[in-house]
Structures are given as structure tokens and as C-alpha cells.
């Protein structure tokens, strides 16, 4: 088991792109969803698949269990997806010694760009990148499970 501690932000502008490495294409879908738990399948670059169980809802800290699964089994589970399949490209961006994950969403969520920072540290506002906007940590509408089930939320 791993403890996931992350902050989530909407991204403003494209200033992050010049700092980003090559992206990884991610396709993910949910098999089960509840107020404080989810079961997700994620396929990376069409070559690797993982099954992830998360407990803790949209809290900043959640318990996470993650397992490699055969790619063909991941594809076989996709017809059982709840809501839409999320398509996004994940970029890693370094800023002040921290690695940010910036997700540019596609298809029905096109135009949405979010940044996540996994850290237990409190990062002062002055140390945040200029390209991060409103923090949406703890706002369920901006978590991937809600995006899959409900689509794009209104801006906070």
C-alpha cells in the first residue's frame, strides 16, 4: 500500500510546455466508483496496464493500491467502464526541485489541463509555478473519477 498525498491545480496558459519532457499517452477508465473509493484501469502508451484501488475520496491524502495487469485483460475490462474513458497526455515538468505531472486531456475533456504535485510538504504560494491557476485539491468535480462520470465541471 502507498499513501498518495497530492495537490491539484488548473493550469493557465502554455508556459509549462517549454519545460515539459515528452508526454505519455494515458487511457483510463473506472470499473467501480463510490464516495470514498474507486477501482481504475490505466493503460500507458498502449503497452502497459495497471489496476488501481483508491480509498479516501477527493481528499488530499488517499490510500492507493496498484497492480500490473496483462494488457489484454485491461482491454477486456473496458466494456465494463462506468462513464467515459479518459484520454490524456501526461507530461513531467520540473519546477524548483519538484516534479509536477501536467495532464492535457483529450476528446470530450479537450482543453482541460491540470497539474498535480505529489508532496507532503506545504508549498508556499510564492514557490508555485506561474502557470498554475486555481487549486482544486479536495474538489471532487476535478478528480478523474468525476470527469469520467460527469464530464467537465464549471470552473471553481
The catalytic position among 9, 16, 29, 30 is 30
DSSP code of residue 41: E
- Is the domain 2-150 a CATH 2.40.110.10 member? no
Residue with cell 491524502: 61
Local structure of 40: helix, strand or coil: strand
Query: Under a CB-based contact definition with an 8 Å cutoff, are residues 117 and 123 in contact?
Result: yes
What per-residue string of b and e applies to 86-124 under the rule 16 or more CB within 10 Å gives b?
bbbbebebebeeeebbbbbbbeebeebbbbbbeeeeeee
Burial class (CB in 10 A: 0-12, 13-18, 19+), 18: exposed
How would you write the pLDDT of the chain (156 residues) with one tens digit per residue? 576 678 999 999 999 999 998 899 999 999 999 988 999 999 999 999 999 999 986 667 889 999 999 999 999 999 999 999 999 999 999 999 999 999 999 999 999 999 999 877 778 888 899 999 999 998 989 999 999 999 998 766
143 counts as catalytic: no
Give φ, ψ of 132 to 5 degrees. Answer: -90, 140
Q: Where are the domains of the chain?
A: 2-150
pLDDT at 105: 97
pLDDT at 6: 85
Amino acid at each position: 500500500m502507498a499513501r498518495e498525498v497530492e495537490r491539484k491545480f488548473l493550469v493557465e496558459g502554455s508556459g509549462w510546455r517549454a519545460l515539459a519532457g515528452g508526454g505519455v499517452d494515458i487511457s483510463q477508465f473506472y470499473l467501480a466508483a463510490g464516495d470514498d473509493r474507486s477501482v481504475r484501469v490505466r493503460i500507458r502508451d498502449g503497452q502497459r496496464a495497471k489496476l488501481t484501488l483508491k480509498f479516501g475520496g477527493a481528499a488530499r491524502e488517499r490510500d492507493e493500491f496498484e497492480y500490473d495487469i496483462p494488457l489484454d485483460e485491461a482491454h477486456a475490462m473496458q466494456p465494463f467502464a462506468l462513464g467515459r474513458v479518459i484520454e490524456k497526455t501526461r507530461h513531467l515538468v520540473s519546477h524548483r526541485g519538484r516534479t509536477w505531472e501536467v495532464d492535457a486531456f483529450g476528446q470530450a475533456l479537450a482543453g482541460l489541463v491540470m497539474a498535480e504535485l505529489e508532496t507532503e510538504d506545504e508549498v508556499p504560494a510564492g514557490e508555485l509555478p506561474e502557470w498554475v491557476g486555481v487549486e482544486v485539491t479536495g474538489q471532487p468535480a476535478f478528480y478523474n473519477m468525476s470527469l469520467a462520470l460527469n464530464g467537465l465541471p464549471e470552473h471553481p
